[in-house]
Amino acid sequence: MGDDQALVQTLRDMAWLATPMALRVAATLRLADQFGDAGATVTELAERTSTSAPALTRVLAHLVTLTVLTHTNGVYHLTELGRQLRSDADNELLLELDINSAVGRAELAYVELEHAVRTGEAAYPHRYGRDFWSDLAETPALRESFDAKMTRRFQAIAPQIAQRYDWSRFATIVDVGGGQGAVLSAILRAHPSVRGQLVDLPATAARAAEEFAAAGLTDRATAVAGSFFEPLPAGADAYLLSDILHDWDDANVHEILTRCAEAAGTAGTILIVEAVHGLGAHTAIDLSMLVFFGGRERTLDEFATLIGAHGLQLKSVAEIADNRTLLEVTIS
């Protein structure tokens, strides 16, 4: 094969959808849970997953090519790689790859990337007829899987966020759009003098309250149902936005910052934790923000422009966790 042919094949392999879709279908079917120690035949696997054996055979053959499975004498076995797709594996792959999960469903909207590139609009509504957040509001299972994914995302970096900044400067913190409370819980455990309040949509806030109770934090942590597009609890020392603003276009970011500034008043601080473009933000995640929401990973200059429009000042910038930057914002 000549050099040009090799380059063409490299691009073809990078673009071929067979591999990601085979893996996503395997995750959606929970295929890796069906083997056991003895392995399984295609007939057994088709019965256990309610699928067509001839069609499933083709998926299995590709998974063998990918070294996810082995195939000997008609019996398929999981490899060490394939075991990462089991439900009991300690990772978040199924929350990402299951096409019926919030993130898995959203990633299928990449087929509408051309629309997003031509218009600058999110691809998700073009594919599904309504935006991502409306889908979550209307479908509890999607909301639950999204909350679980966000909780899992922060498990690794929440302790870093809690330890790499002096949160004890603030007596009270409002975690705006704080999900199920992973970050706020980590902060409160690391800084016993701090009290916190989490604001999120009703089902998520209810789950956060349960998590605070399980962590023994009910004396210092509360969760209230609300939206960051509505008035927030006023008078706290700090308002935290963790991985929130990249989900939204500039118009919506301005609305969120307006609500935070109103609640913070003249004495409060707004703390933005984000992956900043040029400081660790991943290009694929940046594309996902466009496809899912019409949002993006912003540069420091873009943040400064957004913040300045509200009479706010970007006081300091610091690395707060792996691929996350803390922007401390105060009243000018």
pLDDT 10s digits, 117-150:
999 999 999 999 999 999 999 999 999 999 999 8
Which pLDDT belongs to residue 25?
98
> How is the chain split among helix, strand and coil, in percent rounded to 5?
55, 15, 30
Share of the chain above pLDDT 70, in %: 99
User: How far is the C-alpha of 257 from the C-alpha of 228, rounded, in Å?
Assistant: 9
Instruction: Give every CB contact of residue 37 below 8 A, 6+ residues apart in sequence.
Output: none
Which pLDDT belongs to residue 3?
80
Mean pLDDT, range 34-40, rounded to an integer: 94
Which pLDDT belongs to residue 280?
82
Which pLDDT belongs to residue 21?
97
| CA distances from residue 276 to 155, 234, 246, 316, 325 in whole angstroms, order as listed | 20, 28, 9, 14, 6
Half-sphere exposure of 296 (CA within 13 A, CB side): 14
Taking 70 as the threshold, does the pLDDT of residue 38 lie above it?
yes
Enumerate domains of the chain plus CATH numbers. 3-91 (1.10.10.10), 154-277+294-331 (3.40.50.150)
Taking 90 as the threshold, does the pLDDT of residue 281 lie above it?
no
Taking 70 as the threshold, does the pLDDT of residue 1 lie above it?
no
Taking 90 as the threshold, does the pLDDT of residue 331 lie above it?
no
Which pLDDT belongs to residue 2?
76
Taking 70 as the threshold, does the pLDDT of residue 200 lie above it?
yes
In the residue annotation, 246 being an active-site residue is answered as yes
Q: What stretch of H or E contains 160?
A: helix 140-163
Token digits of residue 176: 């705006």
pLDDT tens-digit map of 164-193: 999 999 999 999 999 999 999 999 999 999
Mean pLDDT, range 225-230, rounded to an integer: 96
Chain mean pLDDT for the chain: 95
- pLDDT band for position 153 (50/70/90)? confident
Taking 80 as the threshold, does the pLDDT of residue 108 lie above it?
yes
- pLDDT band for position 243 (50/70/90)? very high
Which pLDDT belongs to residue 90?
87
Token digits of residue 197: 């309040």
Taking 70 as the threshold, does the pLDDT of residue 6 lie above it?
yes
User: How far is the C-alpha of 279 from the C-alpha of 17, rounded, in Å?
Assistant: 30
Half-sphere exposure of 55 (CA within 13 A, CB side): 9
Taking 80 as the threshold, does the pLDDT of residue 332 lie above it?
no
**Catalytic residue, candidates 62, 77, 126, 246:** 246
